[in-house]
Chain A
Amino acid sequence: MILNKKKGKKSPEINASSMADIAFLLLIFFLITTNIVEDKGVLVRLPAWSEEPPEDLTLNTRNVFTVLVNGQDQLLVRGEPMKVEILKTKAKDFIMNPNHQEDLAESSKEAIISLKNDRATHFKQYLAVYNELKAAYAELWDEAAKKKFRKETIDECNKEQQAEIKSEIPFVISEAEPTSFGDEK
């Protein structure tokens, strides 16, 4: 009884007015630390598997843009060493051939990219090279969209226009079986 009375005199209530602030702080903390996971990446389409060896196509060498990546992640583009940084410009030059050079592609329709790597090539280098080649085509498509349809990018064109651009400048990449000079033992 006496104890009760004592307690009754003091107010037993906890002041909850700062609860909102505490909750807010927690909320803001979680808002900041949440990174909404979104899966992005380089989209690739593999060729269908066939047991038979691919038929021998005789292509005019001027129409093939060969890119070799060795086990030390070095590039050899059409027989010449090259840095990844300038691969895109070189590829664009090759595909469009603005000055009608003898050794570059006859037309953008004929151009073929041939990519070959070693089993010891690092994936990041492979992806960097693939990315540059893809970027070269993406830029060419955008340029074509600008020239033909007066659109900023190819994404703004409608389906038929996109198909027209892509048939004019088809993205043909042929990946050969990798060499195995330097595989991991």
Chain B
Amino acid sequence: MSKFSTKRADTGATISTSSLPDIIFILLFFFMVVVKLRETNMKLKVVTPYATELTKLEKKSLVNTMYIGRPTLAFQQQYGTKPRLQLNDKIADLNEIPVFLERHKVKVPEPQRPGITTSMKIDGDVTMGFVTDVKTELRKAGQLKLNYSSKKRTERSGF
């Protein structure tokens, strides 16, 4: 045993661990930056429902997001309790949808434009009346690819 250890000590081949904290810190900072802190501040309560037939949205640049829900408590004074639409970080009216879609469209290269999908983050307790109005606006604006954002339901008895 002693022979072995002395041999090692002679060569002085110990790996220096003094830089280990730095490496770990770099990893730490990486994850802290990557953690997505919700970039839009929500003025609506949106809890998406559960579903099984899910499709993943692959290309982030081809997706624009709309939120439909009821205003949170802090905004009920201002906007009431009926379902509302949120585009980016402000509550919008239905007639602002075409402008919103156009603004996103110009950023996408021409050949990819047919692939643009609208991700609809709709609260489960919103009534369909308002959702239908939004859908009608989307159809008028020619945005026909929708994705009703929902969470994965694993077991069948989740109703």
Which B119-148 residues have a C-beta within 8 angstroms of A? 119-120, 122-129, 131-132, 135-136, 138-140, 142, 144-148
| Among A16, A23, A42, A180, contact of B54 (Cβ-Cβ < 8 Å) | A42
Report if B152 contacts A (CB, 8 A).
yes
CB nearest to B35 among chain A residues:
A34
Report if A38 contacts B (CB, 8 A).
yes
- Determine whether the beta carbon of B51 is less than 8 Å from that of A43: no
Report if A31 contacts B (CB, 8 A).
yes
CA distance A124 to B142 in the complex (A): 25
Residues of B within 8 A of A37 (CB): 36
CA distance A127 to B48 in the complex (A): 10
> How distant is B92 from chain A, measured CB to nearest CB, in Å?
19
- Determine whether the beta carbon of A48 is less than 8 Å from that of B125: no
Report if B63 contacts A (CB, 8 A).
yes
- Determine whether the beta carbon of A41 is less than 8 Å from that of B125: no
CA distance A19 to B24 in the complex (A): 9
> How distant is A47 from chain B, measured CB to nearest CB, in Å?
7
- Determine whether the beta carbon of A128 is less than 8 Å from that of B159: yes
CA distance A39 to B65 in the complex (A): 10
Residues of A within 8 A of B24 (CB): 20, 23-24, 27
**Interface class of chain A by DSSP:** mixed
Which A125-168 residues have a C-beta within 8 angstroms of B? 126-128, 130-131, 134-135, 138
CA distance A184 to B57 in the complex (A): 32
| Among B52, B57, B83, contact of A131 (Cβ-Cβ < 8 Å) | B52
Which B6-33 residues have a C-beta within 8 angstroms of A? 17-18, 20-21, 24-25, 27-28, 31-32
Report if A40 contacts B (CB, 8 A).
yes
- Determine whether the beta carbon of B128 is less than 8 Å from that of A126: yes
CA distance A34 to B124 in the complex (A): 25
| Among B27, B28, B123, B128, contact of A119 (Cβ-Cβ < 8 Å) | B128
- Determine whether the beta carbon of A121 is less than 8 Å from that of B53: no
Q: Decide: A45 near B132, CB < 8 A? Known: A123-B124, A124-B49, A184-B127.
A: no
| Among B57, B124, B138, contact of A122 (Cβ-Cβ < 8 Å) | B124
Residues of A within 8 A of B56 (CB): 38-40
Report if A82 contacts B (CB, 8 A).
no
Which B70-84 residues have a C-beta within 8 angstroms of A? 82-83
CA distance A20 to B28 in the complex (A): 11
Of the listed residues B125, B131, B149, B156, the one surrounded by the most CB atoms of chain A closer than 10 A to its CB is B131
7 A-B pairs with CB atoms under 8 Å apart are A40-B56, A44-B147, A45-B146, A121-B127, A123-B124, A123-B128, A178-B132
Residues of chain B at the chain A interface (Cβ within 8 Å): 17-18, 20-21, 24-25, 27-28, 31-32, 34-36, 48-49, 51-57, 63, 65, 68, 82-83, 117, 119-120, 122-129, 131-132, 135-136, 138-140, 142, 144-152, 156, 159
Apart from A23-B21, A41-B51, 12 more pairs, CB < 8 Å: A27-B27, A30-B32, A42-B148, A43-B147, A45-B144, A46-B145, A49-B139, A49-B142, A123-B49, A123-B68, A123-B123, A184-B83
